[in-house]
């Protein structure tokens, strides 16, 4: 991959990278289109990264279908698919890990202690393997995207990290490869997650900025689910991921929801940019 990338760079081509774990959906495709629009060459990596799954998580049952993914990416005219084997990425004796301190220990990092260390380690390898100029990540995994942008900045990586909006089903459910795990009853209740974020948005639009009040309304809405339970609802500073009490002008925030249907954990969020007069949300 790296020698191909070197040749492309020698030809003066700009390279865009879309890291994924495969089982592609429209969320991934929107990142691919973002990359295609801004780069001469687009590389999509497909790698279910064992280092970011704890032993009790879903590494083994994570959905995989490389043939299907290939067809989707061929239709999108993607230039390269980089789908290495775990043994090539982590050969015996592999011992170098990248960690973004602090940000990796809060919220998702508290629940999944090794997760972000695995993510930053693989993404750094992908940056080095592909020599990409631009990399595309989804706001869907807001903390991950923030950590990766921080990693690139702290390490002076010669790559620009782009964070793209969340792609949703028509009923509002954020697309995720894990949605396939849901039973039909769970799937119909999963819509409550994005609806709870919509309620939060409406509160903020009418100037209700007290986080306890917003979270309570979200909790109430989510309690309508019979087949699942919220793991957490948090309102955090978008830079530190520390919880806040009040949404204030001058700040950027995320409202984060993690929701569990049995072993299936779904996450979603709302970004609030309140640096100007009026909060802009997406
Ligand atoms: P994954 O294959 O789940 O590791 O995701 C690969 C990339 O796609 C990550 O940057 C995700 O944040 C992004 N992504 C996943 N779901 C969505 C979505 N619904 N909308 C936008 N981006 C997404």
Residue nearest to atom 13 of ligand 1 (CA): 138
User: Is residue 24 domain-resident?
Assistant: yes
Convert 60-85 to b/e letters by CB count within 10 Å (16 or more is b): eebeeeeeebbebbeebebbbbbebe
- Looking up residue 41, the CATH number of its domain turns out to be 3.40.50.620
Residues 156 and 205 in one domain: no
pLDDT band, residue 266 (cuts 50/70/90):
very high
Encode pLDDT of 74-84 as tens digits.
999 999 999 99
Which of these is catalytic: 28, 162, 221, 242? 28
User: Is residue 170 domain-resident?
Assistant: no
242 Cα to the center of ligand 1, angstroms:
23
8 Å CB contact between 274 and 247: yes
**Ligand 1 first shell, C-beta below 6 A:** 20-21, 27-28, 30-31, 137-138, 140-141, 164, 166-167, 174-177
Residues 90 and 223 in one domain: no
Residues 262 and 148 in one domain: no
User: What's the structural domain count of the chain?
Assistant: 2
Q: Model-level pTM greater than 0.85?
A: yes
Determine the Cα–Cα distance for residues 241 and 235; give it in Å rounded to an integer. Answer: 8
Spell out the long-range contacts of 194-198 with Cβ–Cβ below 8 A and sequence spacing 24 or more.
Answer: 194/168, 194/268, 195/221, 196/221, 196/222, 196/233, 196/257, 197/255, 197/257, 197/268, 197/269, 197/270, 198/172
- Looking up residue 217, the CATH number of its domain turns out to be 3.30.1300.10
Write the CB contacts of 261 (distance below 8 Å, at least 6 apart in sequence): 181, 182, 183, 186, 189, 190, 227, 228
pLDDT band, residue 117 (cuts 50/70/90):
very high
Residue 91: predicted pLDDT: 98
169 Cα to the center of ligand 1, angstroms:
14
Structural domain range at position 200: 177-276
Residues 160 and 181 in one domain: no
Q: Which atom of ligand 1 is nearest to the CA of 28?
A: 8
Residue 248: predicted pLDDT: 98
Residues 213 and 249 in one domain: yes
Per cent of the chain over pLDDT 90 is 100
What average pLDDT does this structure show over 264-268? 97
Helix 142-154 to helix 115-130 angle, to the nearest 10 degrees?
A: 50
Encode pLDDT of 185-214 as tens digits.
999 999 999 999 999 999 999 999 999 999
Residues 28 and 148 in one domain: yes
> DSSP label at 247?
-
Residue 141: predicted pLDDT: 98
What average pLDDT does this structure show over 223-238? 98
User: Is residue 253 domain-resident?
Assistant: yes
Which of 112, 137, 164 delimits the end of a domain? 164
Q: Is 28 a catalytic residue?
A: yes
Residue 164: predicted pLDDT: 98
150 Cα to the center of ligand 1, angstroms:
18
């Amino acid at each position: 991959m790296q020698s191909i990338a070197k040749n492309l760079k020698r030809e003066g081509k700009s390279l865009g990278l879309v890291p994924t774990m495969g089982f592609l959906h429209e969320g991934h495709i929107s990142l691919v289109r973002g990359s295609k629009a801004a780069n001469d060459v687009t590389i999509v990596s497909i790698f279910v990264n064992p280092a970011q799954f704890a032993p009790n998580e879903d590494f083994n049952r994570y959905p995989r279908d490389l043939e299907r993914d290939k067809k989707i990416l061929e239709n999108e005219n993607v230039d390269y698919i980089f789908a290495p084997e775990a043994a090539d990425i982590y050969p015996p004796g592999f011992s170098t890990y990248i960690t973004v301190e602090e940000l990796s220990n809060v919220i998702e990092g508290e629940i999944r202690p090794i997760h972000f260390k695995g993510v930053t380690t693989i993404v750094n390898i992908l940056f080095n393997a592909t020599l990409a100029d631009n990399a595309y990540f989804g706001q869907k995994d807001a903390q991950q995207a923030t950590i990766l942008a921080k990693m690139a900045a702290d390490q002076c990586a010669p790559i620009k990290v782009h964070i793209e909006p969340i792609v949703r089903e028509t009923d509002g459910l954020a697309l995720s490869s894990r949605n396939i795990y849901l039973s039909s009853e769970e799937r119909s209740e999963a819509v409550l997650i994005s609806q709870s974020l919509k309620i939060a948005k409406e509160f903020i639009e009418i100037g209700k900025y007290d986080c306890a009040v917003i979270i309570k309304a979200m909790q109430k809405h989510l309690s309508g689910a019979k087949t699942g339970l919220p793991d957490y609802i948090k309102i955090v500073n978008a830079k530190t991921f520390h919880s806040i009490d009040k949404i204030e002008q001058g700040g950027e925030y995320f409202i984060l929801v993690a929701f569990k249907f049995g072993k299936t954990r779904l996450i979603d969020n709302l970004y609030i940019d309140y640096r100007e007069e009026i909060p802009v949300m997406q």
